[in-house]
Structure 1
Amino acid sequence: MRPVQIVDLFAGPGGLDVAAEKLGIPTVGVEWDTSACETRRAAGLETVEGDVRDFGPKQFPRADVLAGGPPCQTFTVAGSGAGRRALDDVLSFVKRMVARENIREIKKDLSTMEDERTGLVLEPLRWALEAIDEQGIPYRAIVLEQVPAVLPVWEAYAEALKGEGYSVACGILRTEAYGVPQTRKRAVLIARFGNEKVSLPSPTHRTYRKGVPREEGDAGLAPWRTMADVLDRDSKFFVISNYGTGGDPKARGQRSSSEPSATVTGKISRNRVVSENGSEMPRFTFSEAGRLQTFPSDYPWSGRDISQQIGNAVPPRLGMHIISAALDWNTPSEETLDRIKKWGSTKAHRSSDHNESSTQLFYV
C-alpha cells in the first residue's frame, strides 16, 4: 500500500496538519485566509492559498486521505444561524450530489443560500465523489470535523459514503476525553474505504464534570488535564470569560487553573486572568492560548487575527487520535503525543513510524 499523504481542506493555521506531521504523515493544506497561510508557511507546512471550490482531487493526485473542517460560523449558536435554518436544504444537496446531478446546477442553487459559507460544508463530499468518478481512486480515508450542530450533515454524509463503499463512524467527541486541557465538543466523521469496520477513537481521559475531582471516575482512564498542566505560570489563577452565561451578559463564566479551560474561541485574548486574591494578571499570550489547544509552545503564530486562528483550529492532540483511528493505527502513545509540545522542523518529525515517503509535492 502506498504511503499516506493528506490533503486538508479549510486547513486553517494547521491543527490537523500538526497532528499528522508529528505522526510522520506529509500534508498539504488548502486555505484562503491570508493570515492563517502566513502561520502555516512560518511553520513550514505545505500550503496552497485559495478557495477549495477552485480545486479538486486532480490537483492533488498523490494525496490519499481527505480531511476538512469547513467554516462553522453559520452553524454555531453564536453565529447568525443561517446554517441551522438551511439545514434541510443542505441535506437535500447531499442527496442531489450523491445522485450525480449536474454540479453546475447544484453550485448555482448553492449561490442563492442566505450565507454562502453554509454551502462550503458540502465541499468535502464533492472532493470525495470526484476522486471516485474522475480519478477512479477513492480516498483511503476521510476525516471531517465541525461544531456539534453539523452532526446531522455528517450523518447524511455517512449514508452517502456507505453507498460509495466506505465504512463510516460519526458522533460528538469531547476534547478533554483525549487529554486536551480544554472542554470543547466537536462533531467528527471518520470514513475508511472498504468493508472493514471503522470506529471513533476511544477516550483516554475522564470527562470533566464541574465540582467532581479529576481523580474520580472510570479507573481505566487518566484524569482530565488542567490549564496548570500545560502553562508555566507559577501561581494559581482564574480565567474570567469574555462571555456571559445563562443568558446574562454580566454573569461571566469562570474557570480555575486547576480545571480545563473553557472552549477556546477567537475571543480568548479578551479573557481576564486574575490571581487568587483577585488581582489582575497578564492575559494569555498567543503561545499560552495555543497550548490550551495543544499546539506546540514554539508554534510560529503569524499574520493578523491570531486569536481567531487559534480559536478556529483543531486541537492537534485530538487530531492525532482521530487520524490514528481513521487509518486503523493503534491509539497514539503518550510518547508520540508528547511530540506536539515542541514544533521545530516538520520534516524532522516525519518519522518512520508509519510512513516511508519522502516529502514530495502533492499537487500538479
Structure 2
Amino acid sequence: MTEVVDLFAGPGGLDVAAGWLGVPAVGVEWDRNACATRAAAGLATVEGDVRDYGPADFPSATVLAGGPPCQTYTVAGGGAGRRALEQVLGFVKRMAAGEDVTAELSGLDDERTALVLEPLRWALAAHRSGRPYEAVVLEQVQAVLPVWAAVAEALAGIGYRSDHGILHTEEFGVPQTRRRAILIARLDRQPLLPRPTHQRFRKPAGDLPPWRSMGETLDRPGPFVVISNYGTGGDPKARGRRTSAEPAATVTGKISRNRLTTPDGAELPRFTPAEAGRLQTFPPTYPWSGGDIPQQIGNAIPPRLAAHVLGAALGIEVDEKALDQFVAPRPPIRRSTT
C-alpha cells in the first residue's frame, strides 16, 4: 500500500492533500505550533527534528515527500542559502558519491540552509538499505530549483527518473500567485509534472478556466482591495495592491499585516486566519491551533497544488470537482474570459 512520509510537514498542506487522494501520510515536524494544528486536524505526526530520523523509522512508507524550510533561500530572507548555493550543490555530488558530509553541514552560516539536503539523505539511506522509495516529491521556493536539478542527477545514479520545474499556484486553482520549485522522481517510470488546470494570472492562454480570485474564494460581502508591503522593501510608495477580483499575492507569515479597504479607501477588517488559510486552499474549518498562526499558514504548501503534484507522482487522476468540495463552502464563480 502507498504511504507517504512527509519531512518538514508543517501544519499539513501536503498531508491534507494526501488525505483528499486517499493516501495515508505521516508527517515529521519539530515546530510545536504546527504540531498543535496537526493534532487538531487529526494528522499523523512524529514531533521531532528530521535530522534525528531516517527511513528505518518509517518502514511502511513507500513515498518520500519534503518541503524544507525556505527562509534562507527567499528574497525576504537573509540570503545565506543563495550565497551557499554552489557549496550546497557540491554537497549533493559528494553525498551521491557516498561521502558523509554531516560535520561540514553544521558549519554553514545558517543551519537551515543544509536542511534542503535532508530528503536526499533519506533517499540515499533507503536505497542503501535495499528498500528504496517508489517515489520522491520535493517542493521549495523557486531559488532552490538548481538544488532540485542536482538532486535529480544524484537520484538518477540510483535508478530514479525525474522531472522538475517551476509551478505557478494559480494555474492549479489556488486563488494566489505563488511559484514553487517542484521535483518528482520515480523508480519505475518517467514522471511528469502536473499540467495546469487554470490560466496563469495576467498571461491567459488557451481554453483553460480562468484563475480564481480572492472574492470568489472568501465570503466577504463586497469588493475589497488588499494593500501589502510584500516585495516592496517596505517602501510606502510601492505597496502592492490586489483587488478582490484578482488572486492574492503570495501568502506569507506577514499576511495578518496586510490592510484591506473598500474600493474607495474605507478600512475593512483584516484577513482572519480562516480566510488566510482559504487563500492557501485549506478547508474553511481547518482547526488552526497553537501560536504564530499566520507564519504557519504562510509556510505551508497549498493543499490544492500539493494534490496535483502528488497525483502526478502517484499516477492518480485528480478530480477538480472533488477538490472544489474540499476547499470551498459554495460552488466557484465562473467568470467570462471575454
TM-score band, normalised by shorter chain: over 0.9
- 1:340 is matched with which residue? 326
Deviation by residue 1:106-151 (Cα, 9 ceiling, x = unmatched): 11101111111100000000000111102x1110111000000000
Aligned to 2:142: 148
Cα distance in 2, alignment partners of residues 234 and 342 from structure 1: 16
Listed as ranges, the matches of 1:1-364 within 5 Å are 3-101=1-99, 103=100, 106-134=101-129, 136-194=130-188, 196-209=189-202, 217-219=205-207, 221-243=208-230, 245=232, 248-330=235-317, 332-341=318-327
Q: Secondary structure at the match of 1:73?
A: coil
Change (3 A) 1:244 1:24: closer
Question: Which residue type is aligned with residue 251 of structure 2?
Answer: V
How high is the sequence identity, in percent, across the aligned residues? 65
TM-score with structure 1 setting the length: 0.88
Larger RCO: 1 or 2 (CA < 8 Å, sep 6+)? 1
Q: State the distance in 1 between where 2:94 and 2:158 align.
A: 14
The letter of the residue matching 1:199 is L
Task: Report deviation, 1:259.
Answer: 0.2
Q: Using the TM superposition, give the Cα deviation of residue 244 of structure 1 relative to its aligned residue in structure 2, in angstroms.
A: 5.7
Tell me how large the CA RMSD over aligned residues is: 1.4
Q: Per-residue deviation at 1:245?
A: 2.7
Deviation by residue 1:299-344 (Cα, 9 ceiling, x = unmatched)? 00000100000000000000000000001222x112221243279x
Structure 1 gap ranges (5+): 344-364
Return the offset for 1:247: 7.7
Counterpart residue type for residue 205 of structure 1: H
Contact 2:255 2:294 in 1 (8 A): yes
Q: 1:237 to 1:247 in 2, by over 3 A?
A: closer
CA deviation profile, 1:256-304 (whole Å, cap 9, x unmatched): 0000000000000000010122111110000000000000000000001
| Helix, strand or coil at the partner of 1:47 | strand
- Count of paired positions: 329
